[in-house]
Amino acid sequence: MFLGNFGLQMMSLAVSWDLYQRTKSAVVLGNVGFVQVLPFLLFSLAAGHVADRYNRRDVLNITQVLLLAASLILAFTPGSVAVIYICLFLTATARSFQGPVRMAMIPNVVPPADLRTAITWNSSASEIANVAGPALAGLLLAISDSKSVYFVQCGCALATLGCYALMRPSRPRPVSTEPERLSAFLDGARFVWSNKLILSAISLDMFAVLFGGATALLPIFAVEVLHTDSRGLGWLRAAQPIGAVSMALFTAHRLRIHNAGRILLLAVAGFGVATIGFALSTAFWLSFGMLVLTGAFDNISVVLRHGLVQTETPDRVRGRVLAVNNIFISCSNQLGAVESGWAAALMGTVPSVVFGGLATIAIAATWAAISKPLRHWRH
């Protein structure tokens, strides 16, 4: 998990830097989100079905080979916009299958009593990779070029493939006895729709991040607002994971979270406030600090939301439910990048991010008003 995400974060930074240096276009940067969300929309329901029907470790191995192939293409071919988009599409396709499988396997490898702690530490490992990956990528871009980043990503992808091949779940899941049927693809969506608490939690996150994210525009902020270079961009990309890791380490030592619904709503509103602070800042240290806060608030949402989905979902449909959750997450993150790029092109970079932060606060207030299950969710 750590090595795979570490390499992907390095690649993400190098790709965004390459695209901005070649085109100077917010729209091109924003369209990265569209290229990456399309596979999730096309394949996530099928990915959830695969996670519940087939050997999950085998799925990880096969999809990791696809990730390795995309890394090799970036490393050994000219990095045109078209090639970068194709590789991002292949990477997102593999991730659309890996996401439900990885999360669905957690209850198969840890005791139920340790599930929330395991989710927190899993999130922590991912966020540490999110810190280290962009920081190292920024350094490599400063002293070399993007090809050096892509070669390191190839090594990480290969090492991750080896880890998946050696993995042995200590608590294998029961073999599915469900008959093959086309409607089974929609079982996850039906389960989410029937559980209003899960639906409220994941839709809140989707709409909040859809408008509130500013990650796609960081190259523009780094160069045009904060007047820094690729190393500064690397630290800006690492700021949110630093906040997330700090919050994860704090929450990992809490045995119980009371009034989880209210905390989730406040965290989303705090994310919006910090986003506005980042947009209005012209000092690197303040911008970095605001991004750290957005990462901390986002981690609260991630841990609470994933814990809710894992504990409320039976294993027989867990992969399909997590696939639906993946669709919500990918829509918020990747379509949020599209929204950021087009909004920046229409109204300017800083005003578009301020607008996104205000929209996030409004969404948190709206969900607080209309979702009684979320308001009264306690644990």
209 versus 42: the higher-pLDDT residue is 42
- Residue 170 pLDDT class (50, 70, 90 cuts): low
Task: Tell me the pLDDT tens digit for each residue of 258-309.
Answer: 788 888 899 999 999 999 999 999 899 999 999 999 989 988 888 788 778 7
Between 3.90.1150.10, 3.30.70.270, 1.20.1250.20, 3.50.50.60, what CATH number should domain 2-167+186-375 receive? 1.20.1250.20
3-state SS string for the chain: CHHHHHHHHHHHHHHHHHHHHHHCCHHHHHHHHHHHHHHHHHHHHHHHHHHHHCCHHHHHHHHHHHHHHHHHHHHHCCCCHHHHHHHHHHHHHHHHHHHHHHHHHHHHHCCHHHHHHHHHHHHHHHHHHHHHHHHHHHHHHHHCCHHHHHHHHHHHHHHHHHHHHHCCCCCCCCCCCCCCCHHHHHHHHHHHHHCHHHHHHHHHHHHHHHHHCCHHHHHHHHHHHCCCCHHHHHHHHHHHHHHHHHHHHHHCCCCCCCCHHHHHHHHHHHHHHHHHHHHHCCCHHHHHHHHHHHHHHHHHHHHHHHHHHHHHCCHHHHHHHHHHHHHHHHHHHHHHHHHHHHHHHHHCHHHHHHHHHHHHHHHHHHHHHHCHHHHCCCC
- 12 pLDDT higher than 90: no
Task: Tell me the pLDDT tens digit for each residue of 67-126.
Answer: 999 989 998 887 788 899 999 999 989 988 887 787 777 776 666 666 666 766 776 677
Q: Model-level pTM?
A: 0.67
